[in-house]
């Protein structure tokens, strides 16, 4: 089976650039994504400064109130002072709301841009990158690592800056005093309960929407990464990027409101705590002015003591989050630093049509620059000829196809397509003239109609259905509840493997390729379905250049020619009968195959 995920030899790829050596370097790299939002970022930071100043101003006014109206027992202007305190804390609430709102917007837009850039870069990487990486690890980078960065943008940055400013301000003020007293009040607990309930009822819905959008996008990304070969072979990179942009926009919107509502919780606690202290200062001051109690300036230190300890706790809590986000950012930047697939040569041409003539001349290729996967391979295929590639595992069959499709280029030698060096043909143009029917057919989540149309997006519904008829797929499709509009699960779940292969044939039919590549397209299926597939393949192969990789030698007996590969070399070629008569390597393979078949039949 041609897994377009090779290889026992490892994939060839330039060494990854070194990761950022320090946090400062990583932050500098991230600034390129943040810079478009710098106005909102600076506005949010300005609100942090304002809110920190207001948070420090409140206790100072309270202390002044105590000194003037309690100690000196004055009442004139007391109401105006209370109004001033109320104004300070209302302004503080407005400033914290704005810093939260703007910073969340900056964070969501930034990770939106990073995620799209990373996804686009995936399409620009050579296939060798995907050959040596696990899908789950790539998924982690594009989802979890970016989510960690999002959390940092949403709250951690503001919290760190705010806590630092508040801590410095509180230290300066407290150093000028002599006594610290802590008072705990529960007056605003009912308000906290009502506020928390109002917020959580809304955040629950928003987070559910966010998780749904995140789950849909994760599934889409995993699907596209799994089917990266199919995407590239049909040159659908732009369509996949547009679909990702749509899903990413939905996630951005859902994430924005989820984080906005949840961000109100700490702000609510802070606001109500401030109201509590304002009430204590006001009521206590009034009572002291009347001679009921004597509190003095010590009241102010209740607030400053809290403002001294809280930033320390906040900084400690946010530090791990910040480090985790920076580590995630390094992992994302590491991917973005990887070299793109080598660009087409400047003089590379786009071909309107191909006759399908293929020629390998002394082709040498190695995945790891040590052991050659192909060593001096030479053969030619005439337009419309069907040629089978056979040989043991690791003989080089898949590598021939890797080079033909330009997932890799040869180290030495030349591959000619219609007499042109393949390196002078644009990759996308070359692949548009090819179609694949593989053993493990990959189908995308969506309707059957859309999966068939993937071979040629501009195809009409009538052309889709005609391709399905030619592929012997129409009858089983019409038996499904929604016919061509039946929605398949990711990977083609919900239908049999044989039915998936029939859809793959229909997809190749509608692409109308000049070159067709078949990779054990009839293995692991029942006899009736195999007959239908063989009939459909016969129609598909008619008049086209065909390369067939088969491990069951009985399926390629009628090929026009058979190329026998071993250890990266073409050691025999001819018809089935000619190769058997020669009693060479193919004869040995054929005898071993029949012995295994007879043993299995028993």
Q: Are 541 and 503 in contact (CB under 8 A)?
A: no
How large is the C-alpha radius of gyration of the chain?
35
Confidence at 537, pLDDT banded by 50, 70, 90: confident
Same domain, 265 and 249: yes
Same domain, 455 and 474: yes
Give percent above pLDDT 70 in the chain.
Answer: 73
Indicate the helix (H) or strand (E) that contains 252.
Answer: helix 237-289
Whole-prediction pTM = 0.63
Report the DSSP beta bridge partners of residue 489: 493
Residue 289 has pLDDT above 80, yes or no: no
Of residues 248 and 134, more confidence is placed in: 248
Same domain, 133 and 231: no
In a domain, 122, yes or no: yes
Phi and psi, residue 425, nearest 5°: -115, 130
Return the pLDDT at 404. 92
Q: Is the dihedral of CA 16, 17, 21, 23 positive or negative?
A: negative
Cα distances (Å, whole numbers) of residue 157 to 31, 55, 106, 319? 14, 18, 11, 10
User: Worst-scoring range by mean pLDDT, 9-13, 416-420, 536-540?
Assistant: 9-13
Return the pLDDT at 180. 42
In a domain, 170, yes or no: yes
pLDDT digits (tens, 9 = 90+) for 84-133: 989 998 999 999 899 888 888 888 888 888 888 888 888 888 877 777 76
User: Worst-scoring range by mean pLDDT, 27-31, 165-169, 408-412?
Assistant: 165-169
Stretch 259-264: mean pLDDT: 71
Q: Domains in the chain: how many in total?
A: 3
Same domain, 186 and 118: no
Return the pLDDT at 252. 82
Same domain, 384 and 514: yes
**Residue that finishes a domain, picked among 273, 292, 311:** 292
Same domain, 46 and 195: no
What CATH number has the domain bearing residue 63? 1.20.1560.10
pLDDT digits (tens, 9 = 90+) for 197-226: 676 666 656 655 765 676 567 667 877 877
Phi and psi, residue 572, nearest 5°: -150, 155
In residues, how long is the chain?
602
Same domain, 196 and 261: yes
**Residue that finishes a domain, picked among 247, 268, 292:** 292
Stretch 371-397: mean pLDDT: 91
Stretch 594-600: mean pLDDT: 64
270-284, 311-325, 529-543 — most confident range? 529-543
Same domain, 458 and 538: yes
Same domain, 68 and 184: no
Stretch 553-559: mean pLDDT: 79
Stretch 273-293: mean pLDDT: 62
Return the pLDDT at 598. 60
Indicate the helix (H) or strand (E) that contains 597.
Answer: helix 585-601
Q: With H, G, I as helix, E, B as strand and everything else as coil, classify residue 472.
A: coil
Q: Are 92 and 54 in contact (CB under 8 A)?
A: yes
Stretch 258-269: mean pLDDT: 69
Stretch 156-172: mean pLDDT: 73
pLDDT digits (tens, 9 = 90+) for 436-483: 887 777 888 889 999 999 888 888 999 999 999 999 999 999 998 899
Q: Report the C-alpha gap between 215 and 407 in whole angstroms.
A: 31
Return the pLDDT at 8. 36
User: Worst-scoring range by mean pLDDT, 74-83, 208-217, 254-263?
Assistant: 208-217
Phi and psi, residue 525, nearest 5°: -135, 165
Stretch 569-591: mean pLDDT: 91
Of residues 3 and 547, more confidence is placed in: 547
Q: Report the C-alpha gap between 310 and 277 in whole angstroms.
A: 15
Same domain, 273 and 367: no
Residue 510 has pLDDT above 60, yes or no: yes
Return the pLDDT at 282. 66
Q: With H, G, I as helix, E, B as strand and everything else as coil, classify residue 517.
A: strand
Of residues 273 and 82, more confidence is placed in: 82
What CATH number has the domain bearing residue 533? 3.40.50.300
Return the pLDDT at 348. 80
Q: Report the C-alpha gap between 503 and 472 in whole angstroms.
A: 9
Domain that holds residue 455: 358-601
What tokens does 465 get?
């259905």
Confidence at 418, pLDDT banded by 50, 70, 90: very high
**What average pLDDT is seen over the chain?**
78
Cα distances (Å, whole numbers) of residue 1 to 196, 500, 519? 58, 16, 5
Return the pLDDT at 28. 81
Give the contacts of 32 (CB within 8 A, at least 6 positions apart).
none
Same domain, 173 and 183: no
**Residue that finishes a domain, picked among 161, 177, 193:** 177
Helical spans, DSSP H, in 492-569? 497-511, 527-541
Give the contacts of 90 (CB within 8 A, at least 6 positions apart).
none
Return the pLDDT at 254. 77
Same domain, 451 and 557: yes
Residue tagged 């202007």 (tokens): 77
Stretch 157-180: mean pLDDT: 68
């Amino acid at each position: 089976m041609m897994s377009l995920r090779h290889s026992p030899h490892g994939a060839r790829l330039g060494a990854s650039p070194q990761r950022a050596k320090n946090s400062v370097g990583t932050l500098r790299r991230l600034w390129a994504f943040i810079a478009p939002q710098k106005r909102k970022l600076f506005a949010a930071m300005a609100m942090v400064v304002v809110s920190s100043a207001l948070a420090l101003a409140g206790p100072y006014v309270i202390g002044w109130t105590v000194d003037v109206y309690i100690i000196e027992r004055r009442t004139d202007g007391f109401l105006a002072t209370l109004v001033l305190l109320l104004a300070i804390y209302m302004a503080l609430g407005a400033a914290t709301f704005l810093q939260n709102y703007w910073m969340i917007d900056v964070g969501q837009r930034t990770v939106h841009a990073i995620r799209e850039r990373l996804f686009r870069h995936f399409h620009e990487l050579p296939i060798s990158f995907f050959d040596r990486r696990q899908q789950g690890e790539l998924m982690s980078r594009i989802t979890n690592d970016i989510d960690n960065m999002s959390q940092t943008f949403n709250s951690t940055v503001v919290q760190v800056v705010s806590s630092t400013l508040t801590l410095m301000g509180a230290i300066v003020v407290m150093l000028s005093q002599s006594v610290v007293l802590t008072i705990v009040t529960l007056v605003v607990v009912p308000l906290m309960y009502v506020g928390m309930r109002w917020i959580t009822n809304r955040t629950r819905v928003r987070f559910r929407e966010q998780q749904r959008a995140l789950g849909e996008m994760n599934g889409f990304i995993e699907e596209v990464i799994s089917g990266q070969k199919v995407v590239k072979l049909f040159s659908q990179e732009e369509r996949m990027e547009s679909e990702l942009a749509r899903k990413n926009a939905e996630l951005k919107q859902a994430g924005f409101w989820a984080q906005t509502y949840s961000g109100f919780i700490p702000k609510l606690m802070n606001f109500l705590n401030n109201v509590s202290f304002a009430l204590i200062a006001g009521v206590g001051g009034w009572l002291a002015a009347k001679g009921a109690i004597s509190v003095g300036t010590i009241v102010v230190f209740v607030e400053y003591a809290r403002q001294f300890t809280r930033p320390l706790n906040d900084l400690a809590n946010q530090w791990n989050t910040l480090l985790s986000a920076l580590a995630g950012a390094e992992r994302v930047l590491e991917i973005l630093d990887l070299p793109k697939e080598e660009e087409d040569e400047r003089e590379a041409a786009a071909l309107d049509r191909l006759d399908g003539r293929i020629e390998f001349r002394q082709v040498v290729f190695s995945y790891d620059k040590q052991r050659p996967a192909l060593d001096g391979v030479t053969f030619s295929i005439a337009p419309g000829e069907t040629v089978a590639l056979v040989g043991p595992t690791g003989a080089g069959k898949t590598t021939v196809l890797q080079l033909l499709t330009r997932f890799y280029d040869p180290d030495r030698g030349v591959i000619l397509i219609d007499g042109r060096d393949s390196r002078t043909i644009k990759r996308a143009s070359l692949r548009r003239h090819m179609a694949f029917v593989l053993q493990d057919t990959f189908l995308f989540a969506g309707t059957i109609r859309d999966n068939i149309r993937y071979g040629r997006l501009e195809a009409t519904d009538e052309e889709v259905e005609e391709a399905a008829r030619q592929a012997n797929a129409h009858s089983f499709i019409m038996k499904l509840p929604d016919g061509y509009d039946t929605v398949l699960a990711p990977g083609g779940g919900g239908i049999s493997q044989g039915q998936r292969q029939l859809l793959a044939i229909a997809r190749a039919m509608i692409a109308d390729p000049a070159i067709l590549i078949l990779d054990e397209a009839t293995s692991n299926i029942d006899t009736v379905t195999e007959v239908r597939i063989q009939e459909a393949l016969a129609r598909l192969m008619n008049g086209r250049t065909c390369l067939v990789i088969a491990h069951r030698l009985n399926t390629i007996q009628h090929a026009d020619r058979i190329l026998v590969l071993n250890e990266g070399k073409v050691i025999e070629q001819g018809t089935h009968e000619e190769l058997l008569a020669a009693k060479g390597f193919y004869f040995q393979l054929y005898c071993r195959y029949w012995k295994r078949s007879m043993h299995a039949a028993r």
